[in-house]
Structures are given as structure tokens and as C-alpha cells.
Amino acid sequence: MSSRLLAVLGCFDLDRPALTLTEIARLSGLPLSTARRVIGELVEWGGLERTPDRRYRVGIRLWQVGSLAPQQRVLSEAALPFMQDLCAATQENVQLAVLDRREALCIEKISSQRAVPTATQVGGRLPLHATGVGKVLLAFSAPAVLKEVVDDGLVALTRHTIIQPGRLAAALEIVREQGVGYSYQEMTLGAVSVAAPILDASGEVRGALGIVTHSRAALRRLAPAVRTAALGVSRRVG
């Protein structure tokens, strides 16, 4: 039964926040009657809730359980004051990401009204090879992570995306030397980013703190502020 529950919950993501019974059955691969029974149990428990248009979405109880994840809670609590200060000082998008398998998972984001609109949302996933936070996480992770990312294939998201393994390895070496990572329109045309690592007392990477802004911005002038904020978070989590 647990595998069926997970199959149903696995149907939901940022692109599919609300689904019908038929859609859940199709995406999960479960028979319609089984999907209906599993959904009923999840609704009764509070893991899913039914909307007025007869769709289902993640319920508050599942969100409450997810919020207890120690890495997200501790890191978010430590980072938020620094993110708020950084956003106030720069008027840009500030985001916090962690490594989740072979992607960067955004766990916090703060934006000012003057910041360039971005598609990144809390809970959204970002490619490691094409974003500032992704490059930082990749640079300070075990070499095996880079091998897995390369083996999966480096997808060209724009004409600026680094898709050559050798070039990516060289770029990550610079990230380690400078303590900051950059992305110049490599994920989205018109958007650039700079990020710095959050390290614990043993030197292990816990996350990456970054700014996303318009391509006309002087990105390297923002780097010291991002680096300082990330060091502040590192001291709190260390």
C-alpha cells in the first residue's frame, strides 16, 4: 500500500499542483478504482484536499510534515535574516538552494518589487550546470556528483549554457578558487546570477545562496555582498 501512496503523491509537482482523479490514475499507473481508494485515504488523513472543481491538491497536513525536514528548517531559519538584508540592500531576487540528487532544490526565495521576474519558485528545481547556485553546489560536492551530472548529459538551455564536460570542470575549479559561482544567461536569456556556498564546520556544503538579476546588472559588484551573506549563514549553521 505504501508504494501506491507514494505513486499518487509523486504525481504532484510545481507544474501539476492540482489533478483530477483520471489524471492521477494515468500518471501513477494505478487502476482507476485503486487510485480512487488511495486518494480517499489521503484526503481523510489530510495529505490531499479536494478543490471545488473536483481536482485534488496537496493538503496542509502533508505540508506540515514536509516542513519538519531538518535540513530545510535549520538552514532556512539561519539564512532568512541574511537573505532579507541582502534583498533590501540590492533590491534583487535572493534564493537559497540545496543539493537534491542531481539538481538544485530552491527552499527559500525573497524578491523585491524592483527585481526582474524569474520562473524560480520555492520547491522548484534548477539545473546544476547552468545556474549560479547549481554551480556552487556542484563545485563543493563530491566528484561523483559531477560525474553523474555529466553522464546524464549537459542540456543546452540557451546558447550560453556550458555543455562541454571539460569547460564545466574548469569553471567549477574557478568557483572553488574564488568562492563564488556565476551564470551568464545560461539558464534563461536576459537573466544572470551569482552565488556562494554555505559550508558547515567540517567544510561540507550545506547549501548555496544566490542573487538572480537582469543581464545588464554589474554582477561582479554584487558578488562580495553575496559572499558575505553566505559566510554569515555558514557561521550560524556551523
Q: What is the per-residue pLDDT across 26-56, written as a single tens digit (0 to 9) for each?
A: 999 999 999 999 999 999 888 899 888 889 9
For 75-100, what is the mean pLDDT?
A: 92
Q: Exposed, middle or buried, 13 (CB in 10 Å: 0-12/13-18/19+)?
A: exposed
In the predicted structure, residue 70 carries a pLDDT above the cut 80: no
The model's pTM = 0.74
| DSSP for 130-151, written as a single string | SSHHHHHHHHTS-HHHHHHHHH
pLDDT band for position 217 (50/70/90)?
Answer: confident
Give dist(CA 214, CA 192) in Å, integer: 6
| Mean pLDDT computed over 52-77 | 79
208/176 Cα distance (integer angstroms): 13
Q: pLDDT, tens digit, for every residue of 90-139?
A: 988 999 999 988 899 898 999 877 766 776 788 788 999 999 999 999 99
Question: Which pLDDT score, from 0 to 100, does residue 147 have?
Answer: 93
What confidence score (pLDDT) does residue 67 get?
65
Averaged pLDDT score across all residues of the chain: 90
In this prediction, residue 136 carries a pLDDT of 97
Q: How confident is the model at residue 1 (pLDDT cuts 50, 70, 90)?
A: low
